[in-house]
Amino acid sequence: MPAYFEAGVFSGGERAWHHGGIVVDDPWLTPAQVLTLVPEIGLDVQAMPASYQDPDGTYHPMGDVVANVREDGAYLGAVSPEYQLVQPRKSFDVLSKLTADHQLKIDTAGTCRGGRTMWVLAYLPRDILVGGHESERVVPYICFHNSYDGKRALTIGLGPTRVVCWNTVQAFDNSAQRSWTMRHTGNIDEKLAEASHSLGLMNRYYDEFERLANQLIASPFTVRDMRRLTDRLTAFKPKPDESDRAAENREAAKAAVLSFFLTSPDLSESAAKNTRWAAYNAVAEYSDHERRARASKLGEDAGQVRFRRNLIMPDTTMKDEALKLLTA
């Protein structure tokens, strides 16, 4: 099954890349709808005594381990007796407390790895309109995901990645702007209360993001400025003893960034046109989608390297440098 996907539901009529799960046209989902459409996500998990069978057929208890078993009988993993369970339905309560009106609006939810991992991805109850323009709307996500095999901590985070499978659960963690994790030991309720408080400060992050984006979109930026910016980026500076081929590749890369700035529909046909905001996004578009990727020594092809570079282990060096130069 693609990306270890078990079951899920996706709102807004937007199907997941793996084409699994249920797609609804509603712009968002309530917890009740999720539990109806994906019953697996609402099943309780119990810690059951574990035992082993010796060659004579006799069963012996294993006092240092228990088995997490879903109420439909699915075995999820072996953990220590100190492991504290957080039931899947708890995710709705936690996320609801993090919204201003306690009206949870869910985009996607599901289970993967045979039920060992569950997630709920919701809309944070605030939109950001950069410069007040509808074409520059930013919709932040908040994600709750938990695993029951003892291999991953419970995580709540803010990020831009739409979670639809196991791969994107990992991608969300690596791309999250803010996240909070907890081990399944100690006082779980206290830890969740601490997470709610910490993530309740999340609006400060988005306040700063909105301020910075509005500053960039209000600042004109010409083609000449864009050329100067690419000249200043470390990745595009000439190297000592650079070959003619390397120089040609470097100039081609700079031309690609300039092309995004001038012709990318999202930038050239929107309120961002000819602004510092467009300049930053042109660099980001090149870094994420156009920058050359080569097969790795680990056997990954170029596509796999690009996927890892953008989602699993994001490389934001070029984008960070561009933002620093644009806001200096």
Give residue 177's pLDDT: 66
199-237 in b/e burial notation, b at 16+ Cβ within 10 A? beebeeebeeebebbbebbeeebeeeebeebbeebebee
First to last CA, the chain: 48
> pTM for this one?
0.66
* C-alpha to C-alpha distances, 2 to 16, 88, 92, 126, 240, nearest whole angstrom: 11, 22, 26, 32, 46
Average pLDDT, the chain: 82
Distance CA 93, CA 188 (A): 14
Whether the pLDDT of residue 318 is over 90: the answer is no
Whole-number pLDDT of residue 157: 83
pLDDT at 229: 95
| Cα within 13 Å of Cα(300), Cβ side | 12
